[in-house]
Amino acid sequence: MSELSFSPYGACLALWLAQASQQLTPAVMAKPAQLFPVAAATAGTGPAVIEYWLDGPAHRIQLTIVSATGARVTTLVPARRRGVNAVHWDLRIVPPGIDAKEVRKEAKKGLPMPLTLPGDYNVRLIVDGVEQRRPLRVNDDPRLKMTPAERRAWTDTQIRLWQTAFAAGRQRETVIALGEQAHLQPGTRLKGTIAGFKKLEGPLQEIAERSEELLKKIVAMTRPVGAGEIAKSHEYAAALEKRRLEVRALRDTMRPAAPR
């Protein structure tokens, strides 16, 4: 007699199908859309699974996570097929001011997005202008031995470094583009401007690299972020702001003089 093999994935799938069949009543299927209750999720160990029913491809559908105060935390990409759809949120957030696509590229290099803070959230589903909400409880990663204040500082520092590294990289691209633009302008008065742009490329690259290096270290930590590490994150942000002012001053020299 052959032994039956046990598959954790198969067991999870069977449980999900059983739960889905219980939720998918005739009353639900008569509706255009229905957002189902969302189970609590734990950061660092598993995603939040968001399930909803659609009676057909929706023309307009939005799926977001909002905080208890109503602030948007992240935007998810919803499925639109008829039936029960499931969307997984990895409990990570895109830092403000950063392009989500670029963040995903960086994540492949060992720089994951910051984990959201533990607490109470709401899943918001809008289908053809009709909104539904379900509460979602996010528990913290049990490996993180931090007080709530330390946990927030850990997350805030990651966000600051993400923003600094991303902005420094973009600023370097801007500097290169402005240098090329200055080359194309007639006359020789911009030689100093071109040299100034060239001189800024290295420092901006260094700010981005140092921010990413510190970010990798902090992401891997399970202890509270230290005062020295926080100070460095502020130092890199201040250095970037100084370079931004220098870029702005150089850009001003490219503008034609106002007629007298």
28-50 pLDDT, tens digit each:
887 889 999 999 999 988 899 99
**Amino acid in position 72:** R
Q: How many domains does the chain have?
A: 2
**Amino acid in position 123:** V
Average pLDDT of the residues of the chain:
85
Residue 186 domain-assigned?
Answer: yes
Residue 41 domain-assigned?
Answer: yes
Residue 8 domain-assigned?
Answer: no
- Say if residue 134 is in the same domain as residue 167: no
Report the first-to-last Cα separation within the chain, whole angstroms.
Answer: 99
Name the domain boundary from 83, 106, 139: 139
Give the Cα separation of 177 and 237 in Å (integer): 22
Burial profile 112-133: b = 16 or more Cβ within 10 angstroms, e = fewer: bbbbbbbeebbbbbbbeeeeee
Can you give the pTM of this predicted structure? 0.81
**Full residue range of the structural domain in which residue 242 is found:** 148-252
115 DSSP assignment: B
- Say if residue 115 is in the same domain as residue 221: no
In tens, the pLDDT along 81-113 reads 888 999 999 999 988 888 777 666 655 556 888
Burial of 20 (C-beta count, 10 Å sphere; 0-12/13-18/19+): middle
Give the Cα separation of 38 and 93 in Å (integer): 18
Residue 211 domain-assigned?
Answer: yes
Give the Cα separation of 210 and 216 in Å (integer): 10
Give the Cα separation of 25 and 178 in Å (integer): 61
